[in-house]
Structure 1
Amino acid sequence: MDFRVLHTDGNARTGRLALARGTLSTPVFMPVGTMGAVKAISPHELLDVGAEIILCNTYHMYLRPGQETVAEAGGLHKFINWDRPILTDSGGFQVYSLSPLRKISEDGVTFRSHIDGSAHFIGPRESMEIQRALGSDIVMAFDECTPYPSTYDYTLKSLELTTRWAEICLKNVEKPQTLFAIVQGGVFKDLRLQSARQLKDMNFDGYAVGGVSVGEPKEIMHEIIGYMAAELPSDKPRYLMGVGFPEDILAAVEAGFDMFDCVIPTRTARHGTLLTTHGRIIIGNSRFRRDHTPLDSDCGCYTCLNFTRSYLNHLYKAGEILGIRLNTIHNLYFYLDLMKKIRAAIEQDRFSSFKMDWLSAYQ
């Protein structure tokens, strides 16, 4: 991995993250392909909308089809026919969010599969083994995603366990995989700073902030975003996990973050919420039934260049799969195009005014 900051505008920055399978322009958004597929869109369509990297999920790929099956196929890239970079998260968040009967120990987490209730165990060593078999380009250290709300004492014990697990992950990762650590600490600033300090001393390839957007009020999330980026090494990629809506990403870029992922563009597309330069549209609303204009006249995606709001409204009302696909193409293009505009604004030293103007039109 080679990461270089190319330009700064305040705390916002552009960069290049070179990996074996491709070079990413940062700030970058990663579409989420939880089970080895970005929902409702094919790999070649991902390229068409401008995706440079996707995220897949260690927990889900471990449970089904199993890392052995993926390894037999030649690794995750060949298995899903995607030859560009892939980041796999460690599975810690999914164990937290999908397995309420989990039992945490010093060695890892015993949990029940959300699919069939079978018992499983994943710890830092196991997470590294699974991600090694998958063959992803960027791997995440195994962590405990601290629930919200949590007491100060519980959060402290949780982040200390995450730190010990991170050290084990560092000893068990194999090149050429790139390993990112995950900062925890809940909503407590001193614990967040403690977690960052401990992980920085270990010299990981990159640093992520986890445990946000897990139920805490948005103003608290933005507070954490505001102070955390500056606490992470300036010469390493900074990744804000699971965030978020466009306004959240703009705030995080302003703070100095470089990498983002979220299910929002694909999930909202499936439920008929489309993002445009002038705000969100609920395409199932009756007022679009006879609206024969493009979804977003400022958008260059396949959907907007070829179809109208009326047709998208019809597809949604009729429950046609094509509607979900066209919605997904648009929402992902919207996010990835926003990242291009963000990078251009930073390079031209006008990010602050761009952010203000963009949000004014969007809201």
Structure 2
Amino acid sequence: MTDPAAPPPAFGPDLAEVFGPSQQDGGPELVQLLTPEGERVQHPEFDLDFSPEQLRGFYRDMVMVRRIDTESTALQRHGELGIWAQLLGQEAAQVGAGRALRPQDFVFPTYREHGVAWCRGLDPLKLLGLFRGVDHGDWDPEEVNFGLYTIVIGAQTLHATGYAMGMQRDGAVGTGDPDRDAAVIAHFGDGASSQGDVNEAFIFAASYNAPVVFFCQNNQWAISEPIERQTRIPLYQRALGFGFPGVRVDGNDVLATYAVTQAALQRARDGQGPTFVEAYTYRMGAHTTTDDPTRYRLSDDVESWKLKDPISRVEAYLRRNGLADADFFADVSAEADALGARLRDGVKALPDPQPLGIFEHVYAEQTEELRRQHDEFAAYLDSFEGSHA
């Protein structure tokens, strides 16, 4: 077991072996295993053999996640959701990272990690309840090791670092037991990388050698602010200034994202400390359903990124290599249709919260002041005919 108080290992054989000298020197910036045309390529530092079952699983996951996104956007347009944070185009980054996790690993998401939630087995209806405004996140994080969505930009990176430090002290890091050793992954966007909380998390994680992976989905737009307004160097290179390695991966390549995230998580589980993963991708849709991206970005950029679609490249690879037949694609499409129907019907059936529920779970033991407020509000509700407090 590693000593939580021990200084982080110096850059040397470990870093060179796991992440390779080219990433340290800022050489080949983009780790890629599957080209936009669906051709399999090799990488000198990250390469894995994927079974046909894994490849088909990645394809299915991304199709399901995209359907969750498109159905939720449509539901918002029809007034069934208050807002929705889209992930169109970022499916590979989320599915690759989500499938690289072990059951004991813990995820700290932003408000857009619908694909990671899917990979952790979270019912997407629970996500829709949050965006419908009928609950604050109706799931138990300990059941799926997936935290509640975080609206405060970047705050979850500090939460993740503190949780990872707790894992150290619980003896769940560096024991050599694959069923015990655990890691934490914190998701955030390129815009959040400018927040103080994120940089403070980097400092704490490096100082305490915390088993945390900082996973940045660089979709190149912090709402309407382009990435070039935020940094003069690639984001992954910032990590070296804090004392841990960074790597940039093709965020539209689910194979590469899986391979890089798996290596970073294993490094954390082994007690080698934090890693920064920059998944270089593009936000094909709006920031949220209240945003109009046509006001600040060029349609030519969107069209060029459509050619790098993460789902299309996996489909091309499967078809070209005879790893999936027409029946498989038809079955996945039918499953996605069924999921869409379930979401449409399910979100409308979600119950509204009871007004007095706001007084529950505020304190472990209800205070006299809170009890008085509860009774006064209950009396107010009772003054209306047909009140359902």
Tell whether the structures are fold-level matches, with TM greater than 0.5.
Answer: no
- The structure with the greater share of residues assigned to strand is 1
Highest relative contact order (Cα 8 Å, sep 6+), 1 or 2? 2
Higher alpha-carbon Rg: 2
Normalised-by-shorter TM-score class: 0.3 to 0.5
TM-score where L is the length of structure 2: 0.33
